[in-house]
Structure 1
Amino acid sequence: MARLKLTKQEKSWVLYDVGNSAFVLLATALIPVYFQTLAEPGSSVVVAWGYAETIASLLLALLMPILGSIADLKGNKKKFFVGCVGTGAVALAALGLPTTALPFLIVYVVASVMLNGSMVFYDAFLVDAAATDDRYDEVSSLGYAWGYIGSCVPFILSLAIVLGGGAVGIDMALGMKIAFLITAAWWVAFSIPLIRNVHQTHFKERTAHIIKDTFSGLVSTLKKIVKDRKLRLFMLAFFFYIDGVHTIIKMSTSYGTDLGIDSTQLVLALLVTQFVAFPSAIAYGRLAGKVGTKRMLLVGVFAYLCITLFAAFFLTSAVEFWILAICVGLFQGGIQALSRSEFGKLIPKEHANEYYGFFDIFGKYAAIMGTLLVSVFTQLTGNPSIGVLSIAVLFVVGFILLWRMPEAGK
């Protein structure tokens, strides 16, 4: 697959990124466009979509530390993973049933929570799948890289059905129903290797007082995070910079729609992002091994600050959107992959789900702040560019905190 020779467990772990990324791409590129056809005429797609993403992030942030702590018990991690994938895939397939905006958003929130819930357990499986700690950066980067390129297969098929289906009598509504089914099936299919081949090798032993021990364990973990300066600074930095990353991913298509950019141009530009992100994510993983994970994260955060400023001040046409999409592709996979792997190096392996639950809190509460900021400022000013500009300060704060984080071994 790459210069790094992967074990069977590592390949199986990487393949799940291929599966779940298909839903992520569909949610980024096509679902907001389809939602616009269900929304009330004259309503802002950015506002409604932003609030829906905020609710999904809030639910996930509240649930995952508790479920993650329980999942750390011997034999539980895979059960929770399977439950999230199964429920999420059913909800995704059912997205074709609602014919009005509110029911559609409700089903979408369920599917989104399950998708991101599965990602918490998937991230925690990195410590079980990777052979050694020094392989985390490159294995994690390969997951994002192959996820980007692999997700294009069902997406291109879905795109052909949705945009070209009219030639054979398939309208957009029916085309999207088929796209939801294709993506759900793809997601399930690529979860099977992980379910079969990756096993929970790091775990907590079961006790007689699971609920009590779960909450006491969460309090203990939180105290450890606060006391560990390097981990504390990393998580605070992550809280801010991943806010902007997630917000740009989630809101890019709806933002472009509000600016009046043609939906076909938006979708094709985001598809190009996937192809650019494939080699970029792999390169990020290799460079991290040479110059250090922290340095590569700082490069990514600064690049995203520049991307945000470009979007706020210069994005007015499809050409600028294409430039923006290519720039995002250069850094998106790298910053996410290295954040995931760096965190895995800092935590005790037997408490991986519990720690990744807090990791997800920081990521998802940040996503709440980001999407909420964009929605509120867009609604108050009537100018989507002002909403996008509010994200820039989060990258600045994230960069400063990450810069202050001690290097490895200090």
Structure 2
Amino acid sequence: MGTITAGTGAAGTADGRRREQRGWYFYDWACSVYSTSVLTVFLGPYLTSVTKAAAGEDGLVHPLGIPVSAGSFFAYTVSLSVIVAVVLMPLVSAVADRTGRKKPLLAVFAYLGAAATTGMFFLDGDRYLLGGALLVVANASQSVAAMLSNAFLPQISTPEERDAVSSKGWAFGYAAGALMLVLNLVLYTMHDSFGLSESVAVRICLASAGVWWGVFALIPLRRLRDRTVPEAEARASASAPRRLLETLRDMRRHPLTLAFLLAYLVYNDGIQTVISQAAIFGSEELGLEQSTLITAVLLVQVLAVAGALALGRIARRHGAKRTVLGSLAAWTVVVGTAYFMPSGDAVWFFALAAGIGLVMGGSQALSRSLFSHLIPPGKEAEYFAAYEISDRGTSWLGPLVFGVTYQLTGSYRDAIISLVVFFALGFLLLARIPVRRAVAEAGNTVPEKL
């Protein structure tokens, strides 16, 4: 429960690293049920229905006096959550790197997010503002906590271990999401047998994700170890705002790392928007039942476990960059196909889910491990703060484009096809980056395969 001496590489013996790695996997296990059950499956359609109940005859609600289409409220709230996260993450990361106290900060934001998610049990009637507020708190907290968890990756693994460790973490997360979705599916489809209304069943599913998050977060908080920071480095940055400015200046000295962040920001906006808006597309545009959506997301979770591990193996042979580029080409095809999907046809929606599952886990896991090679030693939390801005459903541009497109056209098909540009542009930006040179210029050991 204490700290260990700082170092530029993975600290400790092989046994010590494996113990921390096993604990670290369980943070993905703990928090991924939020991304799956809450953000991807239940909250979008449910919050949209609550918002529609509060809307006037013109289909608008007026949070803070601003006219908003009830169908766009969820997407706009996801965008608002990233604004909160953008403000918080650089400040928290500066404190984490300056003090070396990542673990207490991880505990604070993990349990703040878990509490907000558990509080979604009270979202009923026309309380759309309560739902929006809880979503902002939970999503922003999850982003900050994920940043802190990711910052441990370079410290608990060697460069050659990095892709495998990151891929296993994602696989743990998708396995947890699949298990929770099975339980959710039983409760939701059999809610009458349990004497529950559909609304109560959905609210129990939402709250259970918060309880799961809080319980399993105990494992990484017990296993992970903080690293001490040299006293001279701690004194060098006396305040979080000053450290933020130093980080921005430092990133300018690593233009290739900055170029990767730009590419990741673009294509991950597309990935996260598909994850957060797919359920609304399925329910509102295709007219599919909630049980069908849950089954489809369950299929995504199961195949994402296999996809993350399989792409991790491919990366060991062909390099992470080439593997990620291949996954982005696949994303472009999958999202383009969604535009032409017939309404009411569950089989085609399941095919779409299968395609997403096979590429989703690997593209995210390998992006995380690839970026970890590009971080100057001792600046893990700060750099992962920038990385996390566009991760785990907190991307603001994708949901904003999706919501605006729907509000202008009234079609979720037009909204989903607008996301293709994120994958195509992200592919072009990543393809131009010489990653081996970027790793060397960051001051890190260049792996044999990259």
User: Equivalent residue for 2:176?
Assistant: 150
Q: Which residue of 2 aligns with 1:344?
A: 372
> Deviation per CA, 1:254-312, whole angstroms, max 9, x where unpaired?
11111122222111111111011111101111211111110011011111111121112
**Which residue type is aligned with residue 248 of structure 2?**
L
SS of match in other structure, 2:99: coil
Are the equivalent residues in 1 in contact too, given 2:341–2:349 (CA < 8 A)? no
Q: Which residue of 1 aligns with 2:208?
A: 182
Match of 1:193 in 2: 219
Alpha-carbon distance in structure 2 between the residues aligned to 1:393 and 1:78: 38
Match of 2:195 in 1: 169
State how far apart, in whole Å, the 1-side matches of 2:277 and 2:380 are.
30
User: Does the residue aligned with 2:359 lie in a helix, a strand or coil?
Assistant: helix
Q: Greater shift after overlay, 334-343 or 221-230? A: 221-230
**2-structure distance, mates of 1:389, 1:176:** 29
> Whole-Å Cα distance in 2 between the matches of residues 313 and 369 of structure 1?
24
Letter of the 2:27 counterpart: Y
Letter in 2 for 1:48: F
Give the drift of 1:202.
6.6
Query: How far apart are residue 46 of structure 1 and its match?
Result: 4.4
Given the alignment of the two structures, is residue 114 of structure 1 paired with residue 141 of structure 2, yes or no?
Answer: yes
* Structure 1 residue runs without a partner (length 5+): none
Q: Does 2:105 match 1:80?
A: yes
Distance in 2 of aligned mates of 1:365 and 1:186: 19
Are 1:32 and 2:44 an aligned pair?
A: yes
AA in 2 matched with 1:249: I
Alignment counterpart, residue 82 of structure 2, candidates 57, 72, 77: 57
Change in 2 beyond 3 A, CA 1:204/1:264: farther
- Equivalent in the alignment of 2:294: 267
User: Residue type of the partner of 1:185?
Assistant: V
Q: Distance in 2 between matches of 1:204 and 1:51?
A: 42
CA distance in 2, matches of 1:373, 1:313: 20
Alignment partner of 1:73: what SS? helix
Tell me which moved more, 113-122 or 362-371. 362-371
Show the counterpart of 1:18.
29
The alignment-based identity, stated in percent, is 28
User: What is the CA–CA distance in structure 2 between the aligned matches of 1:203 and 1:272, rounded to whole Å?
Assistant: 44
Question: What amino acid is aligned across from residue 360 of structure 2 in structure 1?
Answer: Q
CA distance in 1, matches of 2:394, 2:81: 12
1:399 to 411, 427, 440: 427
Runs of 4+ aligned residues of structure 1 deviating over 6 Å after TM superposition are none
Shift of 1:211: 4.9
What amino acid sits opposite 1:395 in the alignment? Answer: F
Alpha-carbon distance between aligned partners in 1 of 2:180 and 2:299, rounded to the nearest angstrom:
15
Q: Is the 8 A contact 1:120 1:356 kept in 2?
A: yes
Equivalent residues in 2 for 1:2-401 (5 A)?
7-27=18-38, 28-41=40-53, 46-99=71-124, 100-130=127-157, 132-201=158-227, 203=229, 205=231, 207=234, 211-212=238-239, 214-259=240-285, 260-314=287-341, 316=343, 317-363=345-391, 367-401=395-429
8 Å contact kept, 2:96–2:102: yes
Aligned CA RMSD, in angstroms, stands at: 2.2
Offset at 1:388? 1.4
The amino acid of 1:22's aligned partner reads: V
Residues 143, 389 of structure 2: 8 Å contact kept: no
Tell me if structure 2 keeps the 8 A contact 1:288–1:296.
yes
Residue 181 (structure 1) shift = 3.7
TM-score normalised per structure 2: 0.85
Unaligned runs of 5+ in 2: 1-13, 54-58, 61-68, 439-450
**Contact in 2 for aligned 1:141/1:334 (Cα 8 Å):** yes
Deviation at 1:243, TM superposition (A): 0.7
Separation in structure 2 between the aligned mates of residue 170 and residue 11 of structure 1, nearest angstrom: 38
Report the Cα distance in structure 1 between the residues aligned to 2:129 and 2:76, rounded to whole angstroms. Answer: 12
Q: How far 1:160 sits from its partner (Å)? A: 1.6
Moved more, 136-145 or 71-80: 71-80
Q: Do the aligned partners of residues 355 and 139 (structure 1) sit closer, same or farther apart at CA in structure 2, a change above 3 Å counting?
A: same
Q: 1 or 2, which has the higher helix percentage?
A: 1
**Which string of whole-angstrom CA distances, capped at 9 and with x for unpartnered residues, describes residues 221-262 of structure 1?**
223323323212211111110010000000000111111222
How far off is 1:98 after superposition?
2.8
Aligned-partner residue type, residue 54 of structure 1: S
Residue 209 of structure 1: how far off its partner (Å): 7.7
- Whichever residue aligns with residue 352 of structure 2, its letter is L
- Report if aligned partners of 1:61, 1:364 keep a CA contact under 8 Å in 2: no
